[in-house]
Amino acid sequence: MTSSDPAARFSALIQRFFMERLIEQRNVSPRTVASYRDTFRLLFSFAEAHLHKPPHKLRLADFSADLILAFLKYLEIARHNTIRSRNARLAAIRSFAHYATLLEPAALPILQRVLAIPMKRFDRPMVSFLSREEVQAILDSPSVNTWCGHRDQVMLATLYNTGARVSELTAMRVRDVVLDRSACVHLHGKGRKERAVPLWRATAKQIRRWLRRINPDPDQWLFPNRAGGQMTRSGVTDRLRLAAASASTRCPQLKTRRVSPHIMRHATAMHMLQAGVDLTLIALWLGHESPATTHMYVEADLAMKQRALNAIQAPQFKQRRYRPSNNILAFLDGL
C-alpha cells in the first residue's frame, strides 16, 4: 500500500482482498468468491447513490459503520432481502474489514465500528415439506413428449432422489453421472465438498433415456436450458412451479403450497426419516456439515413426536372437583 491516493489505495485493497486473501490464502470456492463479489457490487452501487461518489473515487474512510448500516437497511427494505441474506452480506463485509485492519492500521477506529455491527437474529420457521402423494403428482406432471417436458421430468426425479441443492442440480454435468450396476451421481456442494449419492433404478433408467436425447459429451450440462447452456436457479424454480401447478388438478392441496426446489430437498429428508433412516446418514446424504442441522426434520415430524409420546406412559392424576372460593381476590392472587 504505497500509493498516496486514498481512492487508489482502497481500490488496491479490495483487489488484494479477493486475489490474496480469498483465492490465494483461503482458497475459497468459486461460489464464495461470486457471493462476495455480488456483495461488493451492491455495496458500491449503493455508496454511489448514497455518497454521490463513483466506485473508483471511494476511500477506506468512506467505508464507515453508518454507510454499512444504511446499506443493510436498504437490502431489507428496498430489495426485500431476508434477514439471512442480510447477514450473509454483512459476513462478507466483516471479512474484508478484518483483512483491512492488518494492512491499514490507521483505519482501525473506522473498521472496529464496522466489525461491531451485529448479525441480526431471526425466527426459524418450521420446516415445510411435501407429502409422498404431492411429490408423485409433481413428478408425473411433465410430458415426455416435448424436449422441455422430458428434461423437467428427469430433472425433478433426480432432484427428489438426491435431495440436492438447486446449485448442485444445475452444476451437474454428464460426467458426474455413473450409470453402471451401482448407479450414482457426484454432487459438488458447498465449500468444495463433494459427495456421491446413489440413484434408484428408475431414476438411472430415466437418465439413460434422457442422455439419448442430448449431447452425451462428458462436459455437457446434464440438464441444459433450451440454448444448451446451464440452467439458472430461477429457471429450475419456474419449471418446478409449472409442474406443481399442473399437478394441482390431481392434488388440490398443491394450490395453497409454495413449492420450491428446497422444499423438494426437505421432502427427500423427511421421507427418509419417516422410513427409519438414521439421522447421520441423512446428514451425509444432504451434505450437511453437522448432523445437528438435520435435527430440524425431527422437529417438523409431528407423527414421529406422537409415536414417541405414545411410547411413554402418561402420569396418573387424582381427579378433584373444583370448588369455587368465596374470595374472588384470593382466587386472582393464586393465579
Residues identified as active-site: 165, 190, 262, 265, 288, 297
- Alpha-carbon span 95 to 100, nearest angstrom: 9
User: H helices within the chain, ranges in order?
Assistant: 6-16, 30-51, 65-77, 83-103, 108-115, 132-139, 147-162, 166-170, 201-211, 233-247, 261-274, 279-286, 295-300, 302-310, 328-333
Q: Residue 115 — φ and ψ, nearest 5°?
A: -65, -20
Reference 79, options 124, 45, 48, 56; nearest CA is 45
Which residues lie below 8 Å from residue 55, measured CB to CB, with a gap of 6+? 44, 47, 48
Give the CA distances from residue 50 to residues 21, 28, 45, 96, 170, in Å, rounded to whole numbers and listed in that order: 28, 31, 9, 20, 36
Q: Report yes or no: 212 and 150 within 8 Å, Cβ to Cβ.
A: no
